Amino acid sequence: MDIEYVRSQFPALEREFTFMDNAGGSQTLRKVAERISGYLLHHNVQLGASYKVSREAGEKLNYATKKVCEYINAARPEEVVMGPSSSMLLRILSTCISKQWKEGDEVIVTNTDHEANVSPWTDLKNKGINVKLWKANPESLELELSDLNKLLTKRTKLVAVTHASNILGSINPIKEIAKTVHKAGALICVDGVAYAPHRRIDVRKLDVDFYVFSWYKTFGPHLAVMYGRYNLLHQMDGINHYFFKKKDVPYKFQPGNFNFELTYSLLGITEYFEQLFKNEFPKAKKVGFQDKMNKVFEHISKHEERISKPLINYLSEHPDIQIIGKATADRKKRVPTISFVHSTMKSDEIVERVDDYRVGIRFGDFYAKKLIEDAGLKEKNGVVRVSLVHYNSLDEVKRLIWVLKKVI
């Protein structure tokens, strides 16, 4: 990968600082910032008016939404719901879809998810919904399909699961899970926040019913998106004003409307990946958008595997360190979100020592509290987490290893 080209697209990387807390929030593309500025300076009006600037603004936002639809390979733009955060979108979904459920119906959540895809469902206990917990294997910390099968019944309405753990980095086989869930007559809701920065999202290929992720962890602004199958969204009552009908998808799920300038800025993300494809594969013949995205994200995954391998090797060989999750850099098994604990030092002690070297990593439970508690890591103040993305370089990883050797 042409790492110099990649890094030149992110103004924050010009600073003498190493960003390795990317799972908490990635750096923003220059193109995204320019799109925000351009919209606010030239098209900051309300939509739906008859005058020219309002019509132009509407056209720009419709185009941006279509590009997001294309980016995740949804069937139609109405399947794209914008919101301020993944947590809020999942809360909206649980509020709306549960109106169709009856007392005694069941939902399954996991103990490996960020709480964003847990609390909205567990809170439905107050409505008489039974909530079951799909627990990871205590030794491998991996979710096993055989355990899910034991939990599924005729009353199961939905299974909420993460695509990749924001602590373990493990990639769950979502397509296979979706097949199992659908066979049982239930729906699947996937939290893709920790997966989206690293791999291609193709909601139709995955065959999911709902899929949510945050743009601010995917090189964009503080905004999130939820994909939902159109027929499912159409059937639900929304939370917008009373005069919006079932057909008003996705607006009935977007009270106060979506954020215009941030939505428009998402074009900067799709443009960046198209340009990255062109830069990395200059001899490629005419290629469609979907093939471009598939190829560029495969390219990204190889780079991420390459830069995470020396760090995982170092941590694996250290006698006092335990990697929490798979001790492999294999891109088919994990994303480069790497967590560990030390046998004698608490996680906050390590991170605070690393801070002095202008390297940004982090400690804690990262809102995946059930996983930290069940893994017995609470007394360590959670894990130390190093979260890499494709703009990180091999030199940065080598420097982190050098720093860790000094502080541990």
Residue 53 within a domain = yes
Residues 174 and 71 grouped into a single domain: yes
Q: Do 192 and 119 share a structural domain? A: yes
Number of domains forming the structure of the chain: 2
Token couple for 156 = 């199961």
Q: Is the peptide bond before 11 cis (omega within 30 degrees of 0)?
A: no
What CATH number is given to the structural domain containing 336?
3.90.1150.10
- 285 band by pLDDT with thresholds 50, 70 and 90: confident
What is the rounded distance in angstroms from the CA atom of residue 198 to the CA atom of residue 196?
5
What CA–CA distances, in Å, run from 393 to 4, 6, 64, 396?
A: 9, 10, 31, 5
Both 334 and 242 in one domain: the answer is no
Tell me: do 71 and 141 sit in the same domain.
Answer: yes
- Number of neighbouring beta carbons within 10 Å of residue 319: 5
Residues 262 and 303 in one domain: no
Domain region containing 319: 3-27+291-407
Whether residue 285 is contained in a domain is answered as no
Give the Cα separation of 211 and 166 in Å (integer): 16
Q: What is the pLDDT of residue 96?
A: 97
- The pTM of the full predicted model, rounded to 2 decimals, is 0.97
Which band of pLDDT confidence, cut at 50, 70 and 90, is reported for residue 98?
A: very high
Same domain, 295 and 261: no
Summarize pLDDT for 61-88 with one digit per residue, the tens: 999 999 999 999 999 999 999 999 999 9
Structure tokens at 353: 């020592």
The one-letter code for the residue type at 186 is: A
* Domain end among 212, 238, 269: 269
Q: Specify whether 223 is located in the same domain as 313.
A: no
Beta bridge partners of 228: 210
Same domain, 20 and 40: no
Residue pLDDT, tens place only, 294-334: 999 999 999 999 999 999 999 999 999 999 999 999 999 99
The closest of 236, 191, 182 to 210, measured between CA atoms, is 191
